Amino acid sequence: MKRHIGNIVKPLLFLGIGLLLVWWSLKGFDSDARAKIVLALKEANYFWILVSIGFAILSHISRAMRWQMLIECVAPKPGLTNSLMALAISYLANLAFPRMGEITRCGIISRYEPVPPEKAFGTVLIERAIDVFTLFILTLVVVFTQFNVLGNYFAEKVLAPLSGKFSALLFGFSLRQYLLLLAVGVVGVLSFLYMTKKFSQTVVYQKMVNTLQGVWEGVISVRNVYNLPLLIGHSVFIWAMYFAMIYICFFCFDSTRHLGPQAGLAVMVLGSFGIIATQGGIGAYQIIVAGVLALYGVEYTLAYAFSWLAWGSQTLLVMVGGFAAMVALPLVNRQRQLAASQQAAS
């Protein structure tokens, strides 16, 4: 019962934080500013939004192909269609439940393809590690190449909160509290070793070990990729498409069409932190992107309109693509199963 309540409360909490940020950001606008935002959205050139969605679809296809390469190292290679639809559904799941998409994706692919879910999960962990590393590198590139524009903003909005958290973690306890934490850690390790030895012959323990081994096989699958340059190429292409998705949206508004690729890279990188911060990025993404564009001379109300258009178009794609995949996935696989049965019978 408590688990079900937690599953409901957590997404509602993240969504609530996002809605609170939306309210907080909107309350700073007077009626004239709000009317200006609405007018900007009405007059936007939506042709470029369609192009942006096209880039997003290409990134999804490339991500599905990269996932196929990793899975192929530990299990039979899944079909591209099933991999792509599982990915689309995972994006939709992440809008509803934080980090639920990764688990959903592995469950779906194991249902329709001969891929153990624990091994699939290991490959997803590798994907996440690659993306985090890429985002870290791009963040450094943006900050150091555009320090004169973004230095103070990055220090105030990103580094200051992080340093505050680390300072509280490292220096916010007394000596007695540190000793207590150390004692708890030692007791925890000893208890774990004792329980491991005591239950090592049980069926439950063996299943846990097998599951963890499967996850680890998926994690180290990257060592056995048949074409590492292609894997790296997919990773580069995915983030290039993310950049193109944002940069092409600049042409939707007269106020942003003059901005160069550097501004597009800054919006993509710093906006990614907004996507991570709240449910689907709602609220946080708009505040961060509008703040970044304001540093490049875009009027804040128009920058805010841009942030909603860029975020809304991609969120709409995730919702439409996810629901379409949920409907199509069983239908496509039913036809495949019927075709396989007929071929076997003949």
Q: Give the chain's length.
A: 346
pLDDT by residue (tens digit) across 263-288? 999 999 988 887 776 666 677 788 88
For residue 83 the two structure tokens come to 């991999």
> Other CB atoms closer than 10 Å to residue 300's CB: what's the count?
15
> Other CB atoms closer than 10 Å to residue 11's CB: what's the count?
17
Q: 261: pLDDT confidence band, cut at 50, 70 and 90?
A: very high
- Is residue 6's pLDDT more than 90? no
Cβ–Cβ < 8 Å for 127, 67:
yes
Mean pLDDT of 17-36: 56
What pLDDT is recorded for position 46?
93
What distance in Å separates the CA atoms of residue 285 and residue 279, rounded to the nearest whole number?
Answer: 10
Q: 163: pLDDT confidence band, cut at 50, 70 and 90?
A: low
Residue environment code for 134-169, b if the CB has 16+ CB neighbours within 10 A, otherwise e: ebeebbeebbeebeebbeebbeebbeeeeeeeeeee
> Other CB atoms closer than 10 Å to residue 194's CB: what's the count?
10
